[in-house]
Amino acid sequence: MKFGVVVFPGSNCDLDAYHMIQDVLQQPVEYLWHQEEKIAGFDCLILPGGFSYGDYLRCGAIARFSPVMKSVVDFARQGGLVIGICNGFQILVEAGLLPGALYRNTCLQFRCQDTYLKVENYDTPFTRAIPRERVLKIPIAHGEGNYYVDPETLQQLKKNGQIIFRYATAEGEVTPAANPNGSVENIAGVCNERKNVLGMMPHPERAGEPALGSADGKLIFTSILKYWEGCRS
Amino acid sequence: MLKAQIKVLLKKSVLDPQGQAVEKSLSSLGYHNINHVRIGKYLEVTLEETDRAAAEAQVREMCARLLTNPVIEDYTFELVEVEQ
């Protein structure tokens, strides 16, 4: 299964994502510079974290018009797997591939800490290999990860099972205290309706090995690989 | 030439954490009659355009596509004449 890691000017988790795929998941992976207009031969695209274009105007607002994004949007519309992490999530909402918006944390602080995630839908390419009831320990590092969605769209997300992760306690309880950034209903990650595009603020690529404090992030990439293998067999 | 003076604010339905922090700060300075603070952005875009209707349509298009995020932000703007 071949992965592509899109690199924007200002991306800074591209190496972590590359390491996760190459060394932890042990699958082929290539970087894709933001100026590439044609991308071919990839099975999953990763939009990594960072500060693309210095977060000017709004996080992700300028990156979404990078030449590579037209191909990313086409790839996603054809059902290709896309995962946006942190700044990658911000780019996906700005590009309209995912609903809602991400803005300033209510605490006004940059939050860099471990979070615990409750998995809300196991029936997606990104979550199917996660053991049931397992609460994922995955870190966040962002100042603008406050997920907003209007009440009507929120109902749609619930109805379609598009809410994938919520911030929770270590025991898996979704509480206001476990919400690090003010996100509506503790939302940490959402999918599109078709479930082939995932955006999440926590960084699974930084939590793929026990030496990093948690290997839970690897489960998301293992899920992607299993899904892909399932599609081929 | 025309200059668009664009004001961008978070929608009323969207919580403004910066505004709230400033509101509390003003109150702690002794300004007890502060009702509400909202913080936004101000943008100036100069257009090589003399036709106001065309400029207006272009500003709206630019706001919808890039300058604002319609999911969380509202905007207003004025067009003023400027020297070359």
For residue A96, the domain's CATH number is 3.40.50.880
* Number of compact structural domains in chain A: 1
- Interface probe for B, chosen from A53, A58, A65 (most Cβ of B below 10 Å), is A58
ipTM for the predicted complex comes to: 0.89
Domain of residue A119, residue span: 3-232
Catalytic residue among A86, A120, A142, A144: A86
Asked if A205 is an active-site residue, the reply is: yes
Across the interface, whether the CB atoms of B66 and A106 are under 8 A apart is answered no
Across the interface, whether the CB atoms of B17 and A182 are under 8 A apart is answered yes
Asked if A86 is an active-site residue, the reply is: yes
User: For residue A233, what pLDDT is reported?
Assistant: 81
Q: Quick: pLDDT tens for B25-39.
A: 999 999 999 999 999
Average pLDDT, chain A: 97
Q: Kindly indicate the confidence band of residue A99, based on its pLDDT and cuts at 50, 70 and 90.
A: very high
Does domain B2-81 match CATH 3.30.1280.10? Answer: yes
Q: Quick: pLDDT tens for B38-49.
A: 999 999 999 999
Q: Kindly indicate the confidence band of residue A232, based on its pLDDT and cuts at 50, 70 and 90.
A: confident
Answer yes or no: is pLDDT of B63 > 80.
yes
Pick from A58, A106, A150: which is nearest to B69 by CB? A58
User: For residue A155, what pLDDT is reported?
Assistant: 98
Q: d(Cα A189, Cα A115) in Å, to the nearest integer?
A: 13
Alpha carbon B4 to chain centroid, angstroms: 11
Q: Quick: pLDDT tens for A3-50.
A: 999 999 999 999 999 999 999 999 999 999 999 998 999 999 999 999
Find the closest chain B residue to A62 by CA distance.
B66
Q: Quick: pLDDT tens for A164-193.
A: 999 999 999 999 999 999 999 999 999 999
Whether A71 and chain B come into contact, CB under 8 Å, resolves to no
The domain segmentation of chain B, as residue ranges, is 2-81
Q: Quick: pLDDT tens for A67-82.
A: 999 999 999 999 999 9
In contact, A145 and A105? CB cutoff 8 Å: yes
